[in-house]
Amino acid sequence: MSDGPTITTIAERAGVSIASVSRVLNGLPTREDTVRRVLSAADELGYVPNSVARSLKSRRTNQVAFAMADIGNPVYLTMVREIQPVLKAAGYRLVLHSTDADVAEEIDVLRSLGERYVDGLIMIPLRIGEAHLKAVEAARAPVVIIGSVPDGTRVDNVRTDSRTGVRLALEHLRSLGRRRIGFVNGPLDTVPGSARSTAYAEGIRELGLPYDENLVEIGDFYRAEGAQAVSRLLARAPDLDAVLCANDLIALGALDVLRRAGRRVPEDVAVAGMDDIDLAAVAWPSLTSISLGSAERGRLAAELLLDRLGNGDRDPKVVTVPPRLMVRASTVGEETT
């Protein structure tokens, strides 16, 4: 593990200057004979260029960071899986940050862009407040935010339309004849939580159904917390005939709770989730879900960032991925599987 060879080592062995070595290695025009000597010296020494030195000079690191709350969340995982190959193909490495949805940590990631250890950042904050927006605008490297930012914020942005998503789900449930449609949400101070809350209230009214606050329960976007919230909901509104869950993890918890409570899905209670995670298709019964295009959002974010890296000062772009209804057994029964 001795110190590796540098261009200086090569230059000495090949009997040329370090400038020539650099030129050869970068494919700049050089005399045939010099090229040969340098290349064979580099080869014999097992030379590998030092990327740190190169970065210092070139001011590019060929690294991009992705920051999300927790890679255990299937949605973020899906995004990582899409983002990575796109970046890799473009010659970038991926640095992963888990922020535990902690605002201070997220701000810190933005601040740390000043260290210049990455060329850009893709971030998906659960909550977006003033502090975020200020930090984003002050960021020292290009940033792409996944999740709606206020209009006018000068940052590349990939969004989905969870309002329409909720509406799609509600219409689907209503079209199956359901009238007592419960809603299990995550925290209201999160971006998706607040959007989906509003959308549920609106959607219910548009369908001509009465808004009953007993049909709404708030937990968190995880399976266990979701399951508890569903239990509470079931206690408060035992007559419900459908449950819309603000994400699929909650919905999976709901399937469990309903099964244990002896309710048949979908005969007694139809269940729909959101995000269309991989698990939705393989759960039992398979889960009807609103796809919010996680994979596509990830890919688009990566592409937006690459585009921005190649072209520093174009205007910020906003890309919206439309939600799609994925109908499966948890609302319409097995026959369609």
Which parts of this chain interact with DNA (CB under 7 A)? 3, 6-8, 15-23, 25-26, 29-31, 33-34, 47, 49-50, 53-54, 56-59
Nearer to its own copies, 4 or 15 (CB): 4
CB of 37 to DNA, least distance (A): 9
237: helix, strand or coil: coil
Task: Choose the contact partner of 321 out of its own copies, DNA, none; CB within 5 to 8 A by kind.
Answer: none
Contacts (Cβ under 8 Å, ≥6 apart) of 330: 251, 255, 265, 266, 270, 271, 272, 283, 285, 286, 287, 288
Find the shortest distance in angstroms from Cβ 70 to DNA: 32
**Residue 115, interface with its own copies (CB under 8 A)?**
yes
Alpha helices in 95-247 (DSSP H): 103-112, 130-138, 162-175, 191-206, 223-236
Least distance (Å) between residue 129 CB and its own copies: 20
Q: Which option in DNA, its own copies, none does residue 264 bind, with CB closer than 5 to 8 A by kind?
A: none
- The CA distances from residue 267 to 274, 331, 333, in Å, are 20, 8, 8
3-state secondary structure of 95: strand
Residue 281 as a binder of its own copies (CB under 8 A): the answer is: no
Q: Which is nearer to DNA, 15 or 85 (CB)?
A: 15
List 19, 31, 89, 111, residue binding its own copies (CB under 8 A): 111
Nearest to 265 by CA among 250, 248, 252: 252
Nearest to 173 by CA among 330, 11, 335: 330
- Show the tokens assigned to 137: 């605008």
Q: Residue 178 or residue 299: which is nearer to its own copies going by CB?
A: 299
Which of 27, 32, 33, 52 is close enough to bind its own copies by CB under 8 A? Answer: 52
